[in-house]
């Protein structure tokens, strides 16, 4: 696990677990199957996934330089109704609400809100830190 704004952790090679600790998404807990590419052996990784809200996330983690570079393309529903994107994916009502956000103005790429960001990783943990464990076989998108 590493910390730079939202906490992120790999449960296995294919699941990323995220918990937002600050900003407009504070308190949101999510997990998703993701695609992981090793850019530089044991140092730099690219991790990408699509959320139930139809938001696209891709981040590059550089453990050597302790840098995190992200690209996020928020769906119209997720960006414009952000308060509805709060919650915990393990709660059925939260997950269903998130999925409805994906259908608002769906299919209009020009209505996406794109955010490229960079941050310094301030902590690297061995283990889950404050994030709750997730079963490796959990159902996602």
pLDDT value of position 129: 65
pLDDT value of position 11: 45
* Spatial separation of the C-alpha atoms in residues 114 and 118, rounded to whole Å: 14
The maximal CA–CA distance of the chain, rounded, in angstroms, is 41
> Domains plus CATH for the chain?
2-122 (2.40.128.20)
- Which pTM was predicted? 0.74
75 backbone dihedrals φ, ψ, rounded to 5°: -65, 160
Residues of the chain with pLDDT under 70: 1-28, 106-107, 127-141
Q: Are 71 and 58 in contact (CB under 8 A)?
A: yes
Bridge partners, residue 56, by sequence: 50, 73
């Amino acid at each position: 696990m590493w910390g730079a704004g939202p906490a992120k952790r790999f449960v296995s090679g294919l699941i990323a677990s995220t918990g937002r600790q600050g900003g407009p998404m504070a308190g949101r807990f999510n997990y998703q199957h993701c695609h992981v590419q090793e850019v530089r052996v044991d140092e730099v990784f690219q991790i990408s996934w699509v959320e139930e809200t139809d938001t696209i996330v891709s981040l590059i983690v550089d453990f050597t330089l302790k840098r995190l570079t992200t690209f996020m393309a928020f769906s119209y529903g997720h960006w414009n109704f952000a308060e509805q994107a709060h919650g915990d994916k393990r709660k059925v009502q939260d997950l269903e609400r998130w999925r409805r956000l994906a259908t608002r103005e769906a299919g209009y790429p020009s209505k996406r809100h794109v955010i490229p960001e960079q941050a310094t990783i301030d902590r690297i943990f061995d283990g889950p830190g404050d994030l709750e464990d997730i079963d490796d076989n959990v159902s996602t998108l």
